[in-house]
Amino acid sequence: MRFAHGLNVIACAAIVNCGNRAGAVLPYLVLFTPKFFDMSGMSKTYDVCVLGATGAVGETMISILQERSFPVRNFYPLASSRSAGTKVEFRGRDYTVLDVAKFDFSQCQIGLFSAGASVSAEYAPKAAAAGCVVIDNTSQFRQDKDIPLVVPEVNPHAIAQYKQRGIIANPNCSTIQMVVALKPLYDEAGIERINVATYQSVSGTGKEAIEELSEQTRAIFTHRDVVHDVYPKQIAFNVLPHIDVFMDNGYTKEEMKMVWETQKIMEDDSILVNPTTARVPVFYGHSEAVHIETTHKLSAAQARALLEKAPGVVVMDERKPGGYPTPALEAAGKDPVYVGRIREDISHPRGLDMWVVSDNIRKGAALNSIQIAEILIEKYLS
């Protein structure tokens, strides 16, 4: 082994974090994931394409379709010409990845898109016009008034609006986990203001960023130069207070997405949101320190009780060392939104603080899309 012992430790830590994704977590998922409908007994089947099938989100979509027994008849993995011809596995069979530029979307009833905003801008309207309902993971359509932006635990009724343009938008990962945790508190006590700081994993940037963190970590432990390409500065052993592009108001676009998307999903433009988003050297799982000011006083005990029965939420909140959720050990490879550190804000009479952690690729992207698809077929396409 050419690595120093220290690197082995880091490499093992990385593998544990990454490796969780492939682990046998199915019994856990069945226990905790809000499966809005049981798909296993469905007789009707659907032709489904996954655009971005070779990416971090697309690969996870494919495995979740399988895990949840989504009723797929014909399956079409799509990507760019770069990876057309390569293989992906679905339900024990190898499928050839097809070039989206040559694909006839009239072959599908459902399209799960995660190949970037410009790709969705080009192909989602074409797919919808061909009769394929698109569930889009990119930021392309999220703010369009006639396109629903959906988190099934929060606003499943909005899916009905898909008929207007044949497209349903999946929110950004940092927004999804926050609104899943906040919805039960909002329903009980109202929310006037949210202050949130995020600690987002590199998988949120895609496969190249996962590789960049791995490679920088290896470089540091083997005394080689650290090269950065995906991020503007070294991410290994560092924190970057910057995600997506800077806007004129000094916030980044990732931060403004949290403002715009929260108001749209909660259907309440009066909720004030003040985010700071940061990238941390974690492979999978975003964490968020969320501070809210409710309209009516809600105690920490009341909030904990509401969260304990909220769909999609697991409360892990013991006031002792380790009694809280973390991205690598609890969230990576799992489906729930974990909430811990629930406490009353000592600086505000109606303030509550909490720590919210979830797998950004699963609930933050792929799982949320497939939960939307489950409702779509059960309530609208059957």
Interface contacts to ligand 2RA, rule CB under 6 A: 172-174, 200, 204-205, 243, 254, 360
Measured from each CB, the residue nearest to ligand NAP is 55
312 binds, among ligand NAP, ligand 2RA, none (CB under 5 to 8 A by kind): none
- The residue (of 201 and 371) whose beta carbon lies closer to ligand 2RA is 201
Helix, coil or strand: residue 263: helix
Q: State yes or no: is 296 an active-site residue.
A: no
Closest to 365 measured CA to CA, from 163, 69, 143, 135: 135
Q: Which stretch binds ligand NAP (CB under 6 A): 67-75, 110-118, 186-194, 247-255?
A: 110-118
Give the nearest distance from C-beta 292 to ligand 2RA in angstroms: 20
Closest to 361 measured CA to CA, from 14, 20, 13: 20
Using CA atoms, how far apart are residues 225 and 235, in angstroms rounded to an integer? 13
Closest to 352 measured CA to CA, from 293, 295, 287: 293
Measured from each CB, the residue nearest to ligand 2RA is 204
Q: At what angle do helices 5-19 and 207-221 cross, to 10 degrees?
A: 160
Q: Tokens 């929310």 belong to which residue? A: 191
Give the nearest distance from C-beta 5 to ligand 2RA in angstroms: 32
115 binds, among ligand 2RA, ligand NAP, none (CB under 5 to 8 A by kind): ligand NAP
Q: Dihedral sign, CA of 333, 337, 342, 344?
A: positive
Is residue 57 a contact point for ligand NAP (CB under 6 A)?
yes
Q: Tokens 């988003």 belong to which residue? A: 277
Give the nearest distance from C-beta 143 to ligand 2RA in angstroms: 15
Q: Which neighbouring-strand residues pair with 77? A: 50
Give the nearest distance from C-beta 65 to ligand NAP in angstroms: 15
62 binds, among ligand NAP, ligand 2RA, none (CB under 5 to 8 A by kind): none
- The residue (of 52 and 325) whose beta carbon lies closer to ligand 2RA is 52
Contact indicator for 333, 25 with CB cutoff of 8 Å: yes
Q: State yes or no: is 108 an active-site residue.
A: no
Give the nearest distance from C-beta 13 to ligand 2RA in angstroms: 20
Q: In what order do the strands lie in the sheet with 46-51?
A: 98-99, 72-79, 46-51, 110-113, 133-136, 167-169
Using CA atoms, how far apart are residues 202 and 227, in angstroms rounded to an integer? 16
Using CA atoms, how far apart are residues 10 and 14, in angstroms rounded to an integer? 6
Is residue 358 a contact point for ligand NAP (CB under 6 A)?
no
Closest to 201 measured CA to CA, from 9, 358, 336, 334: 358
Between β-strands 337-344 and 351-358, what pairing exists: parallel, antiparallel or unpaired?
antiparallel
- The residue (of 152 and 171) whose beta carbon lies closer to ligand 2RA is 171
Is residue 127 a contact point for ligand NAP (CB under 6 A)?
no
Q: Which neighbouring-strand residues pair with 200? A: 279
Is residue 54 a contact point for ligand NAP (CB under 6 A)?
yes
Task: Identify the H or E element spanning 119.
Answer: helix 117-129
Q: Which of 173, 228, 296, 348 is catalytic?
A: 173
**x/- map, 312-351, ligand NAP, by CB under 6 A:** ----------------------------------------
Is residue 287 a contact point for ligand NAP (CB under 6 A)?
no
* The pair of three-digit structure tokens given for residue 124, joined into one six-digit string: 């989602």
Q: Which of 10, 20, 49, 55 binds ligand NAP (CB under 6 A)?
A: 55
Phi, psi of 11 (to 5 degrees): -60, -40
- The residue (of 57 and 356) whose beta carbon lies closer to ligand NAP is 57
Q: Which of 49, 108, 132, 286 is catalytic?
A: 286
* The pair of three-digit structure tokens given for residue 193, joined into one six-digit string: 């203001």
Q: Which stretch binds ligand NAP (CB under 6 A): 66-74, 111-119, 246-254, 267-275?
A: 111-119
Interface residues toward ligand NAP, by CB under 6 A:
52-58, 79-80, 82-83, 100, 114-117, 119, 137-138, 172-173, 203-204, 206-207, 360-361, 364-365
Residues acting as catalytic residues: 173, 286
